Amino acid sequence: MIFLRRQFIAALAILALGAPAARAETLIAPQQERALPHSRADVVLSFAPIVKKATPAVVNVFATRVEQRPANPFFDDPIFRRFFGEGGGGQRGPTAQSLGSGVIVDASGLVVTNNHVIEGMTDVKVSLSDKREIPAKILLRDPRTDLAVLKLTEAATYPMMELGDSDALEVGDLVLAIGNPFGVGQTVTQGIVSALARTQVGISDYGFFIQTDASINPGNSGGPLVDMSGRVIGINSAIFSKSGGSVGIGFAIPVNMVKIVVAAAKGGGKQVKRPWLGATLQNLSKEISDSLGLERPAGALIADLYPKGPALEAGLKRGDVIVAVDGQSADDPEAVGYRLATKPLGGQATLGVLRAGKTIAVPLRLSAAPEVPARDAVKVKGPSPFAGATVVNISPAVLEEFSVQGAANGVVVAEIDPQSVAAQLNLQKGDVILVVNDEKIGTTRDLERATINRHYYWKITLAREGQVITTVVGG
């Protein structure tokens, strides 16, 4: 009986497994391909098809730099150098590291990430989903949008993700966030679009963000926010959190802004040039909107106009309220700035403007801010508090680039060596230097001359974020 039972079980096993001579690989069933979801029922089943399509193009970004220790002041003394050698300046210190995410948006190896992921870094490597690590060079940094474009240095055809249309998004749309949170490895989280056109967030100059409750954590920065067709509709950039972890309030840069930055990088540009309005805008308070007879405080009030700027040329006036750009609503100055920034140069946009209780259409020429006078960049090297700072002359282009409001005189701080005296004294990019030791500064050469000689003290007047500050620093 036992023998017969064993024979019966063996026969069943042969029937179940097939012929004994079958190769081992035939025992592994091929994985069934799933189509992208086209209905709510499909979505409820699984997000796996979207993830499978999107994740090969999502990368991890590793950026490093070697810190330079500040030079020892004793090495300025030639007798000290004679006894102790010449090695006291700029010694190599610990390595600073940054970790974030990115997404390949072109098969040639163009990667979009956040500028803050690579800010101040010199060496960048990208880890692909198949675990390959490839060096990357930085093609373009755009601090104004907190975006950067990298180029993988190995020639190949890379998996890429298609760019969608962020203007087509609606609140409630399902989205996925893909990245490398806390460095644990590629991770996918799911949520919805919680809000659109979020402004006053304080992340970048163009505050016009997609808000989502998909979990976004440190390390997700630069990774894509993906729609249900597997397309990029935003670049995850920041979270609102008191603990440092996700609480369901994350912000992504709309992909329509990303397209402009990518196009500039492809064109070989080192910076992104955008249309210039040539006007100072301010938010509408309830009092102002009531005085203008508006139903609600929505729009951007023109407070001032730049001479010979596009706004003045178009016939706009102080007191006009811009409420739309090419038919898309603009509830505040950030919205106007975003709408114009996503337009290509050379054409025109139609502004919806409220004037004297009526709405009129005003055509605006889309041109870049002029760079007149020339920047004439100077890196200050003298024995002064400005040593290590690079300054440029004021022009509409410079004011636009560094988001400086209302400055007509002085020079603008464009760059600061992180190990310099200027950095130690907390000089900041975008500061406008107005007066040094009672000498008015009109050009970069004025500042260069004013800082040649050493002084016992330095009396400095500068403008920062609209406020004029005067301080005295020891020499």
Residues labelled catalytic: 116, 146, 221
Task: Name all contacts of 390-394 with Cβ < 8 Å and 24+ positions apart.
Answer: 390/414, 390/415, 390/416, 391/433, 391/444, 391/447, 392/444, 393/443, 393/444, 394/432
Q: Are 191 and 175 in contact (CB under 8 A)?
A: yes
The amino acid occupying position 428 is Q
The CA dihedral of 259, 261, 263, 268, to the nearest 10 degrees, is: -170
Q: Is 220 annotated as a binding residue?
A: yes
Reading the block at residue 256, the tokens are 């329509």
- Which one-letter DSSP state was computed for residue 403? T
Q: Output the DSSP codes for 316-338.
A: --TT-EEEEETTEE--SHHHHHH
The structure tokens 């006053």 sit at: 200
> Within its chain, how far is the Cα of 436 from the centroid?
34
Residue 194 near residue 261, CB atoms below 8 Å:
no
Contact 301, 282 (CB under 8 A): yes
207 annotated as belonging to a binding site for a ligand: no
219 labelled binding-site residue: yes
> By C-alpha distance, which of 176, 219, 175, 262 is closest to 60?
219
Closest CA to 111 of 154, 151, 161, 158: 151
Under a CB-based contact definition with an 8 Å cutoff, are residues 303 and 280 in contact? Answer: yes
Q: Does 237 show up as a binding residue in the annotation?
A: no
Q: Are 377 and 391 within 8 A, CB to CB? A: yes
Residue numbering of the annotated binding site: 116, 146, 219-221
Residue numbering of the annotated binding site for substrate: 116, 146, 219-221
